[in-house]
Amino acid sequence: MNFPDFVELLGMFELDGEPVSVTECKSGNINKTFVVDTSSGTRYILQRVNENVFKDPDAVMENILHVTEYLRRKIIERGGDPTRETLTLIPAKAGGYAVRFRDGGYWRVYAGIRNAIAHDKIERPGQFRNAGYAFGDFQLLLADFDTGKLHETIPNFHNTPVRYHAFKAALEADECGRAASVAREIAFIEEHSWLCPVITDGIESGKIPMRVTHNDTKLNNIMMDIETDEAVCVIDLDTVMPGSLLFDYGDAIRYGASNAAEDEKDLSQVYIRPELFKEFTYGFIEGLGGKLSTHEAEAMTISVAVLALELGMRFLADYLSGDKYFKVLYDDHNLDRARTQLKLVSDVLEKRGELEAIVESAL
């Protein structure tokens, strides 16, 4: 779209001022995101929701509205600034908070978060502790939220046994004849399949409580104060659904405390860094006010292995199926990704005692 198209689109929302610049943000992997500056000096975030991923964007928006309205009340109650500490959707002039533009896209606008930035990688260890605090505080604020109000926008997103069955189906189909070349990876997954039901069985039995989960707890989904690195606001709420806080904790550690990128080819460089594990864990538990159930606390370390195995299975299943889901840059990209996750599983299990001691210390 050119600038006049953006002006027309943005004119469908209740903005303060006229658009003077629209710049695409390249860091997002799912939605198309643009930073909008207006004549009043106000900044907005314009997004086109990816309907290939989110089949029911209205349900996504309902979830976001429910959660942000609840967060706003809680933040005000504790004397915080809701314009900075939670996302604010901008109303559409025709009603609601999203529009269907003539390009066919489903578009929405958020108010910008003042004097804050999202980091794609950890520049200082304290940033990871602050991120942990923010995700823990997110859980604390939403502890009494009725999860029955939320739609499951991506069914079985972190249902690891379902992901295992999908992996087995891809293995049986072996559409590209690749299974024979990855026998070692297949054997590793099957040997560690006992990890798959650890969290889901706990939820089903009631030992692990159902909570509101973010489901994409990467560092760059936290806006941090430009000057202090204080975590200001949790963003990217598209995958907010009912689940276990162990999904959020385990995935954050899996991604953020790893020494290497998700597609690192040198597996000797792939391992969990205990010092970063400690930073996030201390921040998360502090943000949560220490309010974990016994079974949640006991499963924190193993949840990292569960989430790494889950993603490793997804990468390998996609590799076996011909790379249909994840974007790849070369032929064995998904295989390299799968191998890094399986190495993390192995490393977490080897360091389990050391990591569990950190959790106990934080508690």
* Distance (Å, whole) CA 85 – CA 82: 5
Domain-embedded: residue 42: yes
The answer to the question of residue 107 being in a domain is yes
**Do 158 and 10 share a structural domain?**
no
What predicted TM-score, i.e. pTM, was given to this entire model? 0.93
Residues β-bridged to residue 13: 92
Do residues 192 and 280 both lie within one domain? yes
Residue 326's pLDDT is 86
Last residue within a domain, chosen from 114, 146, 176: 114
DSSP per residue over 148-184, as a string?
GGS--SSTTTT-HHHHHHHHHHHHHH-TTS-GGGGHH
Look up the CATH number of the domain holding residue 59: 3.30.200.20
pLDDT of residue 124: 86
Do 317 and 237 share a domain, yes or no?
yes
Residues 151 and 273 reside in one and the same domain: yes
Residue 146 belongs to a domain with what CATH number?
A: 3.90.1200.10
Residues 94 and 46 in one domain: yes
* 119: in domain: no
Q: What percent of the chain has pLDDT over 70?
A: 99
The beta strands (E) that lie in 101-163 are given as 106-111, 116-118
The domain boundary residue, chosen from 114, 133, 159: 114
Q: Does residue 165 belong to any structural domain of this protein?
A: yes
Residue 170 inside a domain? The answer is: yes
- For residue 360, give every residue at least 6 positions away whose Cβ sits within 8 Å of its Cβ, in sequence order, or none: none
For the segment 291-319, the average pLDDT, to the nearest whole number, is 96
pLDDT digits (tens, 9 = 90+) for 200-216: 999 999 999 999 999 99
Same domain, yes or no: 109 and 132: no
- Backbone phi, psi, residue 75, to 5°: -65, -40
Query: Is 70 in the same domain as 185?
Result: no
> Cβ–Cβ contacts within 10 Å for residue 135, how many?
27
DSSP line for 29-66: SSSEEEEEEETTS-EEEEEE--TTT-S-HHHHHHHHHH
Mean pLDDT within 318-325: 93
Single out the residue of 192, 218, 195, 178 nearest to residue 323, CA to CA.
Answer: 178
User: Residue 99 has what pLDDT?
Assistant: 97
- Establish if 120 belongs to a structural domain: no
> Are residues 85 and 46 located together in one domain of the fold?
yes
CA distance 345 to 195: 10
How crowded is the C-beta side of 328, counted as CA atoms within 13 Å?
Answer: 18
Q: How far apart are the C-alpha atoms of 327 and 29, rounded to whole Å?
A: 10
Residues 102 and 129 placed together within one structural domain of the fold:
no
Q: How far apart are CA 89 and CA 224, in angstroms?
A: 19
Q: What is the pLDDT of residue 188?
A: 98
Asked whether residue 298 is assigned to any structural domain, the reply reads: yes
Q: What's the gap between Cα 206 and its chain centre?
A: 24
Please answer whether residues 222 and 136 qualify as being in contact, where contact means their C-beta atoms are separated by less than 8 angstroms: no
Q: Which residues pair with 108 in a beta bridge?
A: 47
Mean pLDDT across 277-302: 96
What range does the domain containing 64 cover? Answer: 3-114
- In whole angstroms, how far apart are CA 316 and each of 2, 84, 97, 304, 324? 39, 40, 38, 18, 11
Mean pLDDT of the 295-302 span: 97
Looking at the fold, whether 86 and 169 belong to one and the same domain comes out as no
Among candidate residues 114, 147, 174, the one where a domain is terminated: 114
| C-beta separation of 58 from 64 below 8 A | no
Considering only 24-33, 56-65, 279-288, which range has the smallest mean pLDDT?
24-33
Render pLDDT for 338-362 as a digit per residue (tens, 0 to 9). Answer: 999 999 999 999 999 999 999 999 9
In angstroms, the CA 238 to CA 220 distance is: 14
pLDDT in tens, 2-25: 999 999 999 999 999 999 999 998
Q: Are residues 276 and 333 in the same domain?
A: yes
Instruction: Output the pLDDT for position 29.
Output: 64
Place of tokens 């896209």: 105
The span from the CA of 15 to the CA of 283, in Å, is 36
What length is written for the chain?
A: 363
Q: What is the distance between the alpha carbons of residues 87 and 91, in angstroms, rounded to a whole number?
A: 13
Verify that 150 and 214 share a domain, yes or no. yes
Mean pLDDT of the chain: 95
Tally of structural domains, the chain:
2
Cα 336 to Cα 267: distance, rounded to the nearest angstrom: 9
- At residue 283, what are phi and psi to the nearest 5 degrees? -65, -45
**pLDDT of amino acid 122:** 87
Backbone angles phi, psi at 241, to 5 degrees: -155, 170
Report the alpha-carbon distance of residue 51 to residue 15 in Å, rounded: 25
Residue 30 has pLDDT above 70, yes or no: yes
Q: What pLDDT, in 10s, does the model give residues 103-152?
A: 999 999 999 999 999 998 888 889 999 999 999 999 999 999 999 999 99
Among 345, 185, 355, 340, residue whose Cα is nearest residue 260:
340
